[in-house]
Amino acid sequence: MSDEPAHRLVSDEANHGRNFAVLWAISSVVLVALMIFVIGPHVPPGSMTNDTRAQHDVIVVLSTISMPVLALIWTFLVYAIVNFRARKGVVYEDGPALHANPGLQITWVAVTALMVLGLAAYGTIDLLTAAGKSGVGSGEGPNPLAKPANAGKALQVQVIGQQWFWSFRYPAYGGVETSTLEIPVNTDVEFHVTSLDVVHSFWAIELGVKADAVPGADNVAFVTAFRKGSFQIRCNELCGLWHGHMTSTGHVVAPSAFKQWIAAQETRYAPVTKQLPPYSTTYYPIPTRNG
């Protein structure tokens, strides 16, 4: 009779362990499936370019691998609330002392270490591979180390930030400066990002491009868009009172549509283009002698 409570305790522990493992497995499968097939395709920044495709894949992989861990936490929380809550009218006594479980501790450390190291290797390899294909979407100064294979033939577009709007200059088309950004699809584009006043940050979200716009500096970023569509442009550096309104919408269009558009811009802004300073990788506000 004296051994009955102990046997019952061991039996209860085994039942709880088995029940919890089954629930954890089911919730893990459900969450992983939701992440891959339902949420994954809609995870920003999409797949318009090599850079965004790589970012999207990394985010989905990281999120998918984390789902079983999330399921473990949620399942344990719900299971504990349902099965181990204090019930009305029941008098409880202290249970048996808890002891360390070296096997469980070693397994937990080993599994989490493998997850972290594996994901670090995956992210590093993916970054190097993407950079080798198309350059990188973050600015690397005037002489970037990572460039696409056809960098010498890339369409140059200068991105000029100022409080509180963006303008875009096309040196291959007479240096015309526009208030909207359009680029042709399946074409290497070389952004030259700079600023006229304070530090801004050019963030073309769906293109996967984010480069600081610094006065007197030329920050180069490459990108190639593989499908037509619109992309959001934001300033990602606090730049003053109306920073939140420093937004724009860019467009990836067919090469023929781009030629028509840029020709129309050259005609429309011809009087203004004559008044602009010659194209340069950087500019300084006028007058330059004040200060």
User: What pLDDT does 88 receive?
Assistant: 79
User: What is the distance between the alpha carbons of residues 83 and 87, in angstroms, rounded to a whole number?
Assistant: 10
Could you report the per-residue pLDDT of 123-132, keeping only the tens digit for each? 777 766 665 5
Q: In the structure, what pLDDT confidence band is assigned to residue 147 with cuts at 50, 70 and 90?
A: confident
User: What is the distance between the alpha carbons of residues 237 and 106, in angstroms, rounded to a whole number?
Assistant: 44
User: What pLDDT does 1 receive?
Assistant: 45
Q: In the structure, what pLDDT confidence band is assigned to residue 53 with cuts at 50, 70 and 90?
A: confident
Residue 6 predicted with pLDDT over 50: no
Q: Give kind and range of the element (H or E) at residue 203.
A: strand 200-204
Residue 244 predicted with pLDDT over 50: yes
Residue 159 predicted with pLDDT over 50: yes
Could you report the per-residue pLDDT of 173-202, keeping only the tens digit for each? 999 999 999 999 999 999 999 999 899 999
User: For the chain, how are helix, strand and coil distributed in percent, rounded to 5?
Assistant: 45, 20, 30
Q: In the structure, what pLDDT confidence band is assigned to residue 12 with cuts at 50, 70 and 90?
A: low
Most confident of the following: 3-17, 51-65, 229-243: 229-243
**Dihedral through CA 62, CA 68, CA 69, CA 70, nearest 10?**
90
Q: Which residue would you say has higher pLDDT here, 14 or 259? A: 259
Could you report the per-residue pLDDT of 72-109, keeping only the tens digit for each? 999 999 998 988 887 777 777 776 777 788 888 999 89
Q: In the structure, what pLDDT confidence band is assigned to residue 291 with cuts at 50, 70 and 90?
A: very low
Residue 34 predicted with pLDDT over 80: yes
Please report the domains of the chain, with CATH numbers, ordered by start residue: 8-83+108-134 (no CATH), 151-275 (2.60.40.420)
Mean pLDDT of the chain: 85
What is residue 164's DSSP assignment?
Answer: T
Q: In the structure, what pLDDT confidence band is assigned to residue 133 with cuts at 50, 70 and 90?
A: low
Residue 214 predicted with pLDDT over 60: yes
User: What pLDDT does 2 receive?
Assistant: 47
Give the pTM. 0.75
Structure tokens at 282: 């950087």
Residue 114 predicted with pLDDT over 60: yes
The tokens 């480069």 sit on which residue?
A: 211
Closest among 162, 242, 222 to 194, alpha carbons compared:
162
